[in-house]
Structure 1
Amino acid sequence: MKKIILVCLSIACVWAAGINDESIGLRKVSLMDENKVKIEDINYSAQPPGMSTRFDRSFENAPPMIPHDLDGLLPITTELNMCTTCHMPEFAKDVGSTSVPKSHLVDLRTGKDDKGMLDGSRYNCVQCHAPQANTEPLVKNKFHPNFRDEKSKTSSNLIDILNQGVK
């Protein structure tokens, strides 16, 4: 209930201040008129798995972006996940792909080791991992990540540092 009141108050403040709804969103069109929506043609990587250039992570332990084409790999379901055929630890080294980190093989809610199996809450890879695209960001920023070491640009140590500072 508090959230609804806050949202309503926020909208009322924007309306009372006379802020044009075209200046609020990233699209710079009226938020009330979906007829003016222009869907951009985004150039995603068309390279097949293993042939593309990988981007560094945006920050330490950020989910890496998907550097290859996803044709034939979607949809991802609990019964069929094509990502695991290359990215599970037992296959990754042989095919030269990035292995899922140890954090994906543990139930982070309970700490239970899933004994080499992908945790059930981690099956939907594209929930966190997005395809790389050749596009300009909608909003410029000056953020530059600080990695603890060079390896952190391409791999995760989340499971090892997850409880750092927790007593």
Structure 2
Amino acid sequence: MKKLGLIGVLMLSVPLALGGFALAQQAADNERVETLRGAAVDEHVAVEDIFHQNEGRVSRNYRQQPPLVPHKIDQYQIDLAANECLACHDWTNAGERRAPTLSMTHYLDRDGHQLDSVSGTRWFCNQCHVPQVNAPALVENTFEPSN
């Protein structure tokens, strides 16, 4: 019985010793490791602004295509609490802001009943409406717009 206990202790101590050695080696190596970005994690690295937002209205390529967003929206809050798109595009504000009004379909609930405010099913504008940038195509595209 004592022999089994001694074997058990030895079997536990060997992996623990090896694990401790590996941690000590890793700590020593961390001082020599260079990052791929060439800077510390908390250091700001400036990146060139390569892709610029296409400004102005963009023509549609097919019937029923949602209009594309002709301005930046990266700082807009669009979540359950707020939708900054409505500050300009809701029917109550669009005239004085000189912005296109939302389609009346955005004011219909699931059963087709007219609402005074935007339907919850149309609340997240950027699910359908997206801004365009002058980025190169990631894959070859042979799409041709409909007539």
Task: Provide the TM-score with structure 2 as the length reference.
Answer: 0.59
Q: Give the aligned partner of residue 142 of structure 2.
A: 141
> Which structure 2 residue ranges, 5 or more long, are not aligned?
1-48
Separation in 2, partners of 1:54, 1:130: 12
> Which structure 1 residue ranges, 5 or more long, are not aligned?
1-40, 47-51, 147-167
Cα distance change, pair 73–142 in 1 and its aligned pair in 2 (3 A): closer
Separation in 1, partners of 2:118, 2:50: 31
Q: Which has the higher strand share?
A: 1
**SS class of match (1:113):** coil
Separation in 1, partners of 2:135, 2:87: 29
Give the C-alpha shift of residue 42 in structure 1.
6.0
Task: Provide the TM-score with structure 1 as the length reference.
Answer: 0.52
1:53-105 deviation digits (Å, cap 9, x = unpaired): 1101221221111111124313x112210000001112112212121101101
Q: Give the aligned partner of residue 73 of structure 1.
A: 76
Separation in 1, partners of 2:50, 2:59: 20
Report how many aligned residue pairs link the two structures.
98
**SS class of match (1:85):** helix
Q: Give the aligned partner of residue 59 of structure 2.
A: 56
Cα distance change, pair 118–44 in 1 and its aligned pair in 2 (3 A): farther
Cα distance change, pair 142–125 in 1 and its aligned pair in 2 (3 A): closer
Q: What value does the CA root-mean-square deviation take over the aligned residues?
A: 2.0
Cα distance change, pair 72–78 in 1 and its aligned pair in 2 (3 A): same
**SS class of match (1:86):** helix
Q: Give the aligned partner of residue 91 of structure 2.
A: 89
Separation in 2, partners of 1:58, 1:42: 25
The structure with the largest alpha-carbon Rg is 2
Q: Give the aligned partner of residue 120 of structure 1.
A: 120
1:102-155 deviation digits (Å, cap 9, x = unpaired): 110101x311111x3100111111111111111233332242223xxxxxxxxx
Separation in 2, partners of 1:129, 1:80: 17
What is the identity, as a one-letter code, of the residue corresponding to 2:107? L
Separation in 2, partners of 1:139, 1:96: 37
